[in-house]
């Protein structure tokens, strides 16, 4: 049984690269609630001679309408049948999907009113409460008693940008807990439009009373691009749970102020990737990094941070695409200035030990795995 994660406002320290608890959305249960297009509840079969049986009155299309008997040791939620989105899939396309789930627990799944904040629903996973497929909740059509099954058909909308997207659902008792097991994890390839990302210069966020400065960047000395994360929980969506540039500006200003007050120098990254893939200039090409750990690795390293909601969160396809665009931009810039080094990619954990003052988990396991697999290369 996995605990349901309650919402909390998170304190952000962008330069920390330290571990912190995960944040969950606070009211995703109310927003984007969708009622299933088609649904039916049926008794699970009672024929104990069959490991999996089709209900006597069910259509012969077992891929959609099959039912299964609960067995000792089964999880609370047992997948009977599923029709996930096809892969590959055109970006922005609406597709019909379906799930048939058996209640193999001891508690009745009481359906929730579409406008209620509590009750049992189908909730999006990977990560919890995400809306990348257009909705984060699907209402159950009726109460589902133990040893009964429910079939749910609904419509999802593919993301618009190209990438590989996770797709998974689970039954959630809203504001109480997620029930085991979730549906299998599907990786859906979306063939969308080529993304275009905004580059925000420092003037978009800095205060005149707190300018960014530092030792000058030596572009000819750059040898690599070092990837970071913020190392803690960050409320990226603000009080209204809708991401806006103003939310990110507030985070940047708070982090910069923290650096100035507690470290005595400007925010240390050269640029930061926001939730929408946009790149925000911090030190840029004007001032060398102060984020990699010491001068020996700051001089040759351009530091890019990927802003994450928690240390365990997976970067979205949009963030990855934005990071790739930033990497390509930096490489093109230094080449145009006469530096013909390719600027290899590494993680903060790769270079920090060279300073002799300990290691770090930065940029976090999810991003680091993508880095080592070559999936951050433009």
Q: Is the pLDDT of residue 126 over 60?
A: yes
164-199 pLDDT, tens digit each: 899 999 999 999 999 999 999 999 999 886 667 889
How far, in Å, CA of 110 to CA of 187, rounded?
A: 31
The pTM of this model reads: 0.53
Residue 23, SS3?
Answer: coil
d(CA 378, CA 374): 9
Q: How far apart are CA 349 and CA 363, in angstroms?
A: 7
**Superfamily for domain range 199-372:** Peptidoglycan recognition protein-like (3.40.80.10)
CATH number for region 31-191? 2.60.40.10
- The stretch 255-277 carries a mean pLDDT of 95
Q: How confident is the model at residue 244 (pLDDT cuts 50, 70, 90)?
A: confident
Residue 235 confidence (pLDDT): 85
Span of 63-67, 112-116, 206-210, 364-368 with lowest mean pLDDT: 63-67
Per residue in 26-46, pLDDT (tens digit) is 333 323 333 333 344 444 333
pLDDT at 310 over 60: yes
- Say if residues 55 and 123 touch (Cβ distance below 8 Å): no
pLDDT at position 128 is: 87
Predicted confidence at residue 139, as pLDDT, reads 94
3-state secondary structure of 280: strand
User: Are β-strands 186-191 and 120-125 bridged in parallel, bridged antiparallel, or unpaired?
Assistant: unpaired
Helices and strands, number each (H, E), in the chain? 6, 18
Most confident among 60-64, 233-237, 352-356 (mean pLDDT): 352-356
Spatial neighbors of 156 by CB under 8 A, at least 6 apart, are 85, 94, 95, 97, 133, 134, 135
At 357, the pLDDT band (50, 70, 90 cuts) reads confident
Domain extent listing, the chain = 31-191, 199-372
207-242 pLDDT per residue, tens: 999 999 999 999 999 999 999 999 888 888 777 777
């Amino acid at each position: 049984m996995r605990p349901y994660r309650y919402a909390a406002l998170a304190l952000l320290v962008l330069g920390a690269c330290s571990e912190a608890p995960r944040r969950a959305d606070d009211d995703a249960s109310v927003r984007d609630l969708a009622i299933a297009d088609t649904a039916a509840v049926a008794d699970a079969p009672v024929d104990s001679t069959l490991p999996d049986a089709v209900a006597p009155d069910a259509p012969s299309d077992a891929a959609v309408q099959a039912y299964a008997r609960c067995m000792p040791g089964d999880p609370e939620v047992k997948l009977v049948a599923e029709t996930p989105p096809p892969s590959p899939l055109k970006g922005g396309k609406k597709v019909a999907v379906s799930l048939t789930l058996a209640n193999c627990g001891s508690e009745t799944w009481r359906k929730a009113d579409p406008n209620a904040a509590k009750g049992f629903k189908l909730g999006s996973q990977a990560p919890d409460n995400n809306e990348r497929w257009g909705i984060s909740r699907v209402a159950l059509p009726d109460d589902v008693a133990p040893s009964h099954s429910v079939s749910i058909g609904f419509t999802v909308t593919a993301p618009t940008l190209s990438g590989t997207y996770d797709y998974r659902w689970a039954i959630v008792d809203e504001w109480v807990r997620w029930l085991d097991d979730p549906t299998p994890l599907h990786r859906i390839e979306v063939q969308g439009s080529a993304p275009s990302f905004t580059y925000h210069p420092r003037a978009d966020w800095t205060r005149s009373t707190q300018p960014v400065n530092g030792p000058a960047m030596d572009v000819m000395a750059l040898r690599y691009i070092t990837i970071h994360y913020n190392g803690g929980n960050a409320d990226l969506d603000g009080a209204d749970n809708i991401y806006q540039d103003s939310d990110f500006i507030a985070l940047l200003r708070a982090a910069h102020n923290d650096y100035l007050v507690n470290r005595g120098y400007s925010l240390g990254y050269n640029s930061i990737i926001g939730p929408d893939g946009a790149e925000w200039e911090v030190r840029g090409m004007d001032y060398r990094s102060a984020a990699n750990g010491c001068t020996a690795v700051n001089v040759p390293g351009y530091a890019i941070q990927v802003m994450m909601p928690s240390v365990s969160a997976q970067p979205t396809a949009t963030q990855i695409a934005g990071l790739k665009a930033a990497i390509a931009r930096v490489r093109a810039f230094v080449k145009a200035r006469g530096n013909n080094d390719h600027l290899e990619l590494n993680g903060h954990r790769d270079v920090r030990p060279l300073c002799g003052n300990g290691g770090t988990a930065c940029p976090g396991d999810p991003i680091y795995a993508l880095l080592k697999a070559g999936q951050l290369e433009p």
